[in-house]
A and B are shown apart, each in its own frame.
Chain A
């Protein structure tokens, strides 16, 4: 005798609407059916109606949390279609902003996880540190969430010496604060009770179900698309952060350590920042096909472009990381207890507005 309990679309633990129909036997979850479509905006279709330069700002609004990385992937695709070389300084500035976005996204996810298991103080502290990153982004681009600083052929703004000093000062503070918060996340007894051994995803299952990003790396898969060296990552030598346990704790560890890695990356990028133009001027319209992959905070995003020589793209397809992680998430939730469902879902850090576009 099983019962079906709807989880969502409006649920205190979920910041976004997604419905999971949980089939329960007493308190144990037997199977899960996801119901999506609450945030579907038909964005790929809108992209075909606007011209390809306007699309830069539309694509940025696929998701507010990783907005810069979406616009960066889009610009990389158009640059490949039209063979536009990007100046080296612009590549480094893209890396700096992308890594700032990764830090803010991971701190946000760690805070929400703390909120999901009822540790509200930790949630507040993580979000307090995150405000420093938001200030750094606002100082360098003028926007807190939508940076709009990436454009086709390069970037729109430079980072001058004063701004560089401000960003580095903020990073120093964030490093100090997050190191002590991460100690709570890693060592606290009550936190471990809620995360260790919960929602286990084995390495084989992660591979078979196509998990990406921290979900895959938490299960021991060495998979970080930054290693392929797009933008300026080739000169910045990335060591992927990998944990092997595959439970909520391991995924959290990956995020905690990646925050530190990103801080280090931004410092090295600033140290190596070359002098050059910011933007390559271009003419004409995109034609042909291109596929671009990029590492976002939640994993690898895949863009497919088809242009037909007019100012509007014929087709734009986006496969976002959370979409790839949903089958893995359903596997984790199976056979867990009902009170753990919220923690497991937040430990994957789902971004529903990415998924449904």
Chain B
């Protein structure tokens, strides 16, 4: 980990299941009023260039794979910052029939910023806290926290033979990485 990288963390923003409230507040962090760039924070479109991932919103069956995929594309060492209550617990949407829960069910989260939505100042604090953790991680270090595996329940493929369809168990549980 070079000294420079922790002083200029590049951030990729992933919108999972958010209501846009946290997203527009995160974008407001980058604009002249709050100006995240004075801390060297640069918003970048691709995960391959990023050091910190900012997650907003809870995770559902559809986007769990997208989030996991984006996380794996980031070079190590990497830090995940969860913005708002939704990536922490599922928030107000936790009762949803397709909502798995917080982002921690899919990727290891280092910093939680509470609020619905958090103020831009709090978001900046969260990113800077993430940069400190980033500085402490060794290059090519393996993530310490274990990642819980999620189960995605998908309906079985329709069978050609109706008799076989009746005999087949209804949902097939599939292990998704």
Q: Which residues of A contact B (CB under 8 A)?
A: 9-12, 15-17, 37-43, 45-46, 49-50, 57-58, 61-65, 67, 108, 123-125, 127-128, 130-131, 134, 144-146, 351, 353
Contacts and interface: CB of A to CB of B under 8 A. Distances in A.
6 contacts: A12-B45, A40-B62, A42-B99, A45-B97, A49-B95, A67-B21
Nearest to A138: B119
Nearest to A45: B97
A64 B32 CA distance: 21
A46 B95 contact: yes
A39 B18 CA distance: 7
B15 interface: yes
A43 B46 CA distance: 30
A65 B24 contact: yes
B25 interface: yes
Contacts of A38: 16-17, 60, 62-63, 66
Nearest to A131: B33
A15 B116 contact: no
B20 A10 contact: no
B25 A145 contact: yes
A63 B24 CA distance: 11
Interface centre among B18, B20, B62 (most CB of A within 10 A): B20
B99 to A, nearest CB: 6
A61 B92 contact: yes
Contact of B99 (A10, A41, A63, A67): A41
Contacts of A57: 92
B14 interface: yes
Given A10-B70, A39-B17, A40-B62, A15 B23 contact: yes
A43 B20 contact: no
B127 to A, nearest CB: 18
Listed from nearest, the 5 A-B pairs whose CB atoms lie closest are A64-B21, A12-B45, A127-B31, A64-B20, A42-B96
A65 B96 contact: no
Contacts of B32: 124-125, 127-128
Most buried by A among B19, B45, B98, B116: B19
Interface size class of B (residues with CB under 8 A): 35 or more
A108 B14 contact: no
B19 A64 contact: yes
Nearest to B25: A145
Contacts of B19: 61-64, 67, 353
B47 interface: yes
Contacts of A50: 95
B15 A17 contact: yes
B95 A127 contact: no
A9 B65 CA distance: 11
Contact of B96 (A10, A43, A62, A124): A43
A57 B45 CA distance: 32
A273 B14 CA distance: 43
A46 B21 contact: no
Interface string B1-21: 000000000000011111111
B18 A146 contact: no
B28 A124 contact: no
Interface string B108-119: 000000001101
A125 B32 CA distance: 8
Nearest to B33: A131
Contacts of A108: 24
A17 B59 CA distance: 13
Contacts of B70: 10
A46 B45 contact: no
